[in-house]
Amino acid sequence: MRKPIIIGNWKMNMQIADGLVFLNDLEKESYNIDVGIACQAISLIPMKEQAKKVLIGAQNTNDELNGAYTGELSVDLLKEAELDFCLVGHSERRQYYNESDETVNKKIKLLLEKQITPVVCVGESLEQYENKQTKEVIEKQIELALQDVDVKNCVIAYEPIWAIGTGKTATPEIAQSVCRLIRKKIASLTSVEIANKVRIQYGGSVNPENIKELMACEDIDGALVGGASLKINDFKKLISY
């Protein structure tokens, strides 16, 4: 039985004080799923210090442990801040900062060494989707990202780029079929037993109206949520789907 996990990705939004008020509100209720927030670097420490139930994670880390990488954030600091998870390979990072499958793989390994859960994002572009390349693109991303990785300690997020921030959600059928494909690919790289333990999220315009149908899918164990995680009432509705 896989425990569902819903993570809000605040991206480059939310001031520190507003984030703490949001977190306080979120923590007033109990949930029997894992709930997480990925916030901006400067908010991580106050958020983690205040969080009692909600998991707190970074949106990115560097693929080197330390050194002359101005402006970057090391895995060691994430560990020192006692963070629970870190997003890796979000499509916005792949698209705007040229993040490759190879750097994604390096980041995952560094995070696992420090016992921080990598939330590994994969997803195809609109063009690839329209050209029916989804299977090939996703399988390649999974294979390269998870090379020599202990995948049972990772969370995978399937986020079709064409559904992120666009209001276009993949239908539950599409989302389920790609999440199923990811699980099968993981099984072929490891074993069915391990693949059945890995939690796979769907992300892309998830909202309080569509969450229930998505979460009802056999291979979808959670959601990575952008826009709808910025409004407390929407996010609360989402996590109590």
Q: How many CB atoms lie within 10 A of CB 23?
A: 22
Among the listed ranges 15-23, 42-50, 95-103, 218-226, the one in contact with ligand PEP (CB under 6 A) is 218-226
Asked whether 27 and 53 are in contact (CB, 8 A), the reply is: yes
* 59 versus 62: smaller Cβ distance to ligand PEP: 59
Q: Could you give the 3-state DSSP secondary structure of residue 127?
A: helix
Q: How many CB atoms lie within 10 A of CB 159?
A: 29
User: Shortest distance, CB of residue 144 to ligand PEP, whole angstroms?
Assistant: 20
* 67 versus 167: smaller Cβ distance to ligand PEP: 167
* 121 versus 151: smaller Cβ distance to ligand PEP: 121
Residue 140 phi, psi dihedral angles, 5° rounding: -70, -45
* Closest listed residue to residue 35, CA positions, set 60, 5, 59, 10: 5
Q: Which of 4, 36, 160, 204 binds ligand PEP (CB under 6 A)?
A: 204
Rounded distance between C-alpha atoms, residue 192 and residue 211, angstroms: 27
Does the annotation count 159 as an active-site position? yes
- Residue 201 touches ligand PEP, criterion: CB under 6 A: no
Token pair 């890796």: residue: 88
Site string for ligand PEP, 221-240 (x = CB under 6 A): ---xxxxx------------
**Cα distance between the two ends of the chain:** 18
Q: Which of 138, 203, 222, 234 binds ligand PEP (CB under 6 A)?
A: 203
Give the active site residues: 90, 159
Footprint on this chain of ligand PEP (rule: CB under 6 A): 9, 159, 164-165, 203-206, 224-228
